[in-house]
């Protein structure tokens, strides 16, 4: 490489360095990892620590450790560290220096130039301080670019036509949302809004409070006073938060957390995803308000957006993705690793400045959604084959996701698990790629929790495990070639298979963990299943209906049942429509 220009994301929590090689952006390892914690410190002997080692000592020795220096850039501040104090630019320069030498090691040659990203809201003084930090680190900063612009470049390096993109960036300690317009070679930030005191660290703080309250209530202990214990709780809280992005429960187990009344105290608790989501809901609401403000400032509405991109580690939180999809009406894109896409975009910009050809960032993602089926509601009616996605389309690979389900009858001893690939809300319209039965479940009341785990690797091998949470009893299957794309004739074959299934020629067993007892009777098409469910629902309404409505209900339920027993599909459709109208009326 002639004169490599590196791309740097100098972040509040973590920093990354990337370079374009062979036309593609590559994130480089620094100390064996892609993310370098943006933390600088001095050890016991006064030696410099940058990155993970500095981060590790932060809670114990805050007086000789500096983190989140990005928040102070552009201020005339003197930050104490050990016996001395340092300007924000100097501390940032130490981080940049570490990134520079990692790049030099990787490329085997000196690096003197960089593109560095900054938040769109950074003032001139903050941008200048960033340039100065670069120079102190021995880097000529050939360009400062906005983080949302870099993210858009990472997704759309080879874009065509004009696009309006919303970039939602939630990192460890900062949040911002920007509306970016890409037209040909010009990328422009139309508006940007946010809160530079909001991020994943606030989610950790809520979990820490929750753990401390648990210790107070169950052990009558205030762990706040004990620095060592607090540091362990902090670390465990962040780990639990990350687990809850992929699983419905997270355990926190810390042995000998502290000594209390002369005895060692162990911390052992479980946090449920729903409980955690309630803790952080207000933060998410605040970010969604910012989304609307940014759109308003850009003079646009939701309908003008072509794409929503996620940036920042905290956007892996499923609640964020769900709420954004609800509000914006399209699934946000997160295929380019949200921690790394700003650095990748900076490297792409650097390559363009250096006159190199670049393609967009290539990532392995699943082209399909995978999930199971369970009893739920479809079109407002109870339906036993509702598709429950577990791994969603475009998730980067490898990935492991789990979801919790519950049995619905007392003493349910077995469950048939069906594994589907597809996007339809009705599982029967998707392709079934595997099935298995888990038997020997405990003789307990309905509500027995079964955790389903889907692990999909880059080779398309999908392993599905069903596990009884109480006992750990589990059963798994492995499905090869889960992500193999259908060829045209395979697609036809699949369609035929599906229509056979829908026409009731193939046996369909009531599915899924949430599903009912295995009932071999139910092997008909969707209309039949729905009609039965509707008739049952109508029967339940009888007790509260007026005499007149009751008579109508009885007549219509009878007509539906007659149509069912005569297998008269046109009559069934007609009577189901009438009955569902009446049920709708009675329920509203």
Q: Please tell me whether residue 200 binds ligand AMP under the rule CB under 6 A.
A: yes
Residue 392 CB coordination number (10 Å): 19
Phi, psi of 578 (to 5 degrees): -65, -45
Tokens in use for 534? 């509707």
* Location of structure tokens 């690797």: 457
Q: Please tell me whether residue 317 binds ligand AMP under the rule CB under 6 A.
A: yes
- Smallest distance from ligand AMP to CB 234, Å: 11
With CB under 6 A as the contact rule, the residue among 112, 238, 463, 549 that binds ligand AMP is 238
Asked whether 138 and 44 are in contact (CB, 8 A), the reply is no
Q: Please tell me whether residue 245 binds ligand AMP under the rule CB under 6 A.
A: yes
Asked whether 91 and 136 are in contact (CB, 8 A), the reply is no
Contacts of 469 (CB under 8 A, 6+ apart): 249, 404, 448, 449, 450, 451
Asked whether 460 and 425 are in contact (CB, 8 A), the reply is no
With CB under 6 A as the contact rule, the residue among 4, 11, 460, 512 that binds ligand AMP is 11
- Smallest distance from ligand AMP to CB 169, Å: 8
Q: Please tell me whether residue 549 binds ligand AMP under the rule CB under 6 A.
A: no
With CB under 6 A as the contact rule, the residue among 242, 269, 479, 494 that binds ligand AMP is 242
Tokens in use for 50? 């940058």
- Residues 274 to 313: which contact ligand AMP by CB under 6 A? 312-313
- Smallest distance from ligand AMP to CB 245, Å: 3
Q: Please tell me whether residue 114 binds ligand AMP under the rule CB under 6 A.
A: no
Question: E strands of 11-139, at which residues?
Answer: 14-21, 24-27, 36-37, 39-42, 48-50, 65-67, 79-81, 84-86, 113-118
Phi, psi of 464 (to 5 degrees): -115, 130
- Smallest distance from ligand AMP to CB 334, Å: 11
Question: Among all residues, which ones are annotated catalytic?
Answer: 9, 70, 147, 169
- Smallest distance from ligand AMP to CB 87, Å: 23
With CB under 6 A as the contact rule, the residue among 5, 6, 13, 422 that binds ligand AMP is 13
Q: Please tell me whether residue 234 binds ligand AMP under the rule CB under 6 A.
A: no
With CB under 6 A as the contact rule, the residue among 176, 201, 307, 416 that binds ligand AMP is 201
With CB under 6 A as the contact rule, the residue among 10, 14, 344, 391 that binds ligand AMP is 14
What is the distance, to the nearest Å, from the Cα of residue 85 to the centroid of all Cα atoms in its chain?
Answer: 39
Which residue number, 34 or 550, has a Cβ lying nearer to ligand AMP? 34
Which residue number, 4 or 11, has a Cβ lying nearer to ligand AMP? 11
Which residue number, 57 or 315, has a Cβ lying nearer to ligand AMP? 315
Number of residues in contact with ligand AMP under rule CB under 6 A: 18
Q: Please tell me whether residue 316 binds ligand AMP under the rule CB under 6 A.
A: yes
Give CA–CA dist 531/186, Å, rounded. 56
Which residue number, 243 or 448, has a Cβ lying nearer to ligand AMP? 243
Sole window of 11-19, 96-104, 160-168, 227-235 interacting with ligand AMP (rule: CB under 6 A): 11-19
Contacts of 164 (CB under 8 A, 6+ apart): 179, 180, 181, 190, 300, 304, 305, 306, 307
The 153-182 site mask, x for binding ligand AMP (CB under 6 A), equals ------------------xx----------
Residue 449, preceding bond cis, omega within 30 degrees?
no
Sole window of 184-192, 214-222, 238-246, 562-570 interacting with ligand AMP (rule: CB under 6 A): 238-246
Give CA–CA dist 193/81, Å, rounded. 32
3-state class of 474 per DSSP?
A: strand
Q: What is the rounded end-to-end Cα distance, in angstroms, of the chain?
A: 70
Tokens in use for 452? 């389903």
Q: How far is CA 568 from CA 364, 468, 528, 538, 539, in A?
A: 49, 41, 10, 20, 21
- Smallest distance from ligand AMP to CB 271, Å: 13
Sole window of 199-207, 276-284, 297-305, 325-333 interacting with ligand AMP (rule: CB under 6 A): 199-207
- Smallest distance from ligand AMP to CB 38, Å: 8
- Smallest distance from ligand AMP to CB 313, Å: 2
**Which residues here bind ligand AMP, judged by CB under 6 A?**
11, 13-14, 171-172, 199-201, 238, 241-242, 245, 312-314, 316-317, 339
């Amino acid at each position: 490489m002639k004169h490599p220009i590196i791309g740097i994301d100098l972040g509040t929590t973590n920093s990354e360095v990337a370079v374009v090689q062979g036309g593609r952006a590559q994130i480089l390892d620094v100390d064996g990892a892609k993310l370098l914690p943006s933390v600088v410190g001095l050890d016991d002997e006064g030696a410099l620590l940058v990155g993970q080692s500095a981060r590790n000592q932060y809670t114990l020795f805050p007086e000789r450790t500096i983190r989140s220096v990005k928040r102070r850039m552009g201020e005339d501040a003197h930050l104490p560290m050990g016996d001395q104090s340092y300007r924000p630019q100097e501390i940032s320069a130490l981080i940049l220096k570490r990134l520079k030498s990692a790049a030099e090691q990787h490329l085997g040659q000196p690096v003197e130039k960089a593109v560095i990203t900054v938040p769109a809201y950074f003032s001139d003084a903050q941008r200048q301080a960033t340039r100065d930090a670069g120079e102190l680190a021995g880097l000529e900063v050939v360009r400062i670019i906005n983080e949302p612009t870099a993210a858009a470049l990472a997704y759309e390096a080879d874009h065509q036509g004009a696009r309006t993109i919303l970039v939602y960036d939630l990192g460890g300690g900062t949040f911002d949302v920007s509306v970016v317009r890409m037209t040909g070679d010009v990328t422009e930030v139309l508006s940007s809004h946010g809160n530079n005191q909001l991020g994943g660290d606030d989610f950790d703080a809520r979990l820490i409070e929750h753990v401390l309250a648990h210790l107070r209530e169950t052990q009558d202990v205030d762990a706040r006073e004990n620095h060592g214990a607090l540091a362990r709780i902090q670390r465990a809280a962040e780990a639990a938060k990350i687990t809850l992005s992929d699983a419905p429960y997270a355990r926190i187990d810390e042995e000998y957390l502290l000594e209390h009344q002369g005895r060692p105290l162990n911390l052992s608790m479980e946090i449920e995803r729903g409980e955690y989501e309630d803790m952080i809901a207000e933060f998410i609401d605040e970010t969604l308000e910012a989304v609307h403000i940014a759109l308003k400032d850009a003079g646009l509405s939701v309908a003008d957006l072509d794409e929503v991109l996620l940036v920042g580690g905290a956007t892996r939180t499923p609640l964020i993705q769900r709420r954004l999809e609800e509000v914006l009406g399209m699934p946000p894109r997160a295929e380019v690793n949200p921690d790394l896409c700003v650095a990748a975009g900076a490297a792409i910009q650097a390559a363009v400045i250096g006159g190199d050809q670049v393609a967009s960032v290539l990532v392995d993602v699943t082209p399909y959604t995978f999930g199971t089926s369970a009893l739920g509601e479809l079109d407002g009616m109870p339906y036993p084959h509702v598709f429950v996605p577990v791994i969603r389309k475009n998730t980067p690979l490898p990935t492991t996701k789990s979801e919790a389900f519950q049995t619905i009858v007392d003493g349910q001893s077995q469950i048939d698990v069906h594994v589907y690939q597809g996007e339809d809300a009705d599982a029967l319209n998707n392709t079934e790629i595997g099935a298995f039965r888990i038997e020997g479940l405990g003789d307990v009341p309905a509500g027995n929790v079964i955790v389903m785990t889907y692990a999909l690797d880059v080779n398309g091998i999908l392993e599905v495990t069903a596990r009884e949470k109480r006992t750990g009893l589990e059963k798994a299957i492995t499905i090869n070639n889960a992500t193999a794309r259908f060829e045209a004739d395979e697609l036809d074959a699949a369609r035929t298979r599906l229509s056979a299934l829908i026409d009731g020629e193939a046996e369909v067993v009531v599915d899924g963990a949430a599903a009912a007892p295995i009932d071999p009777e139910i092997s008909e098409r969707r209309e039949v299943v729905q009609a039965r469910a509707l008739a049952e629902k109508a029967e339940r309404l009888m007790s509260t209906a007026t005499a007149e409505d009751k008579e109508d209900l009885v007549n219509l339920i009878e007509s539906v049942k007659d149509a069912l027993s005569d297998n008269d599909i046109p009559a069934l459709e007609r009577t189901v429509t009438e009955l569902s109208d009446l049920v709708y009326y009675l329920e509203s």
